[in-house]
Amino acid sequence: MDFLTIKLQTASHFSIVFLIKRFKISQIQFSSFFYRSFFYLLHRLNMLFEEDKYRFMHAALKEAEKAFEKDEVPIGAVVVHNGKIIGRGHNQTESLNDATAHAEMIAITSASATLGSKFLDECEIFITAEPCLMCSGAIILSRISKIYFGTFEPKFGAAGSVYDVFGNKNGLEIYSGLMADESRNLLHAFFSKMR
């Protein structure tokens, strides 16, 4: 967690406390509807990414939810070209009995089929969790230009957590923390359910 993230979370907390004291309402009266609405507004004011980036990451989260429903590790990915989703994928390693059936691999394969090209150099990929070594290699080889991911992966992450595969790979841009809480919460819910 970087300084900016801590600063934004602290500002959000103090803003809620201020509203509760200012309008003399209890925390119970500050219902979940208002809570969500308030955070939505704060989120809009403090957006670190452009609005369409959140929309694409939301689509990746929807893919992750599909994996969750199938008792797969809930990771989802979408590939975007010129503002349009051209490839989607979610983990299917258990259902396909295939260790390579990661969300990123499936989304990249789908995007390549859509464009009719093995190179996706004008594309962006949105992933709910940091890519592993295998998926990072596929991203590099497919020449995707930008990576957006949600939460870091402390066991297998290859974009800085455990490994740093990307380094300075020909102008590849990597952005982390996009909807990280939502991605992390889904993973925690899955692993709690599996215990």
144-165 pLDDT per residue, tens: 999 999 999 999 999 989 999 9
What is the spatial distance between Cα 47 and Cα 171, in angstroms, rounded to a whole number? 24
Please identify which residue in the block is written with the tokens 């309402």.
25
104: annotated active-site residue: yes
Q: How many CB atoms lie within 10 A of CB 55?
A: 14
For residue 105, with 0-12 CB atoms within 10 Å meaning exposed, 13-18 middle and 19 or more buried, which class applies? buried
Q: How many CB atoms lie within 10 A of CB 54?
A: 18
44-80 pLDDT per residue, tens: 555 678 889 999 999 999 999 999 999 999 999 999 9
CB-side neighbour CA atoms (13 Å) of 34: 11
Instruction: Please pick, among 63, 72, 104, 153, the residue that the annotation labels catalytic.
Output: 104
The Cα diameter of the chain in Å comes to: 60
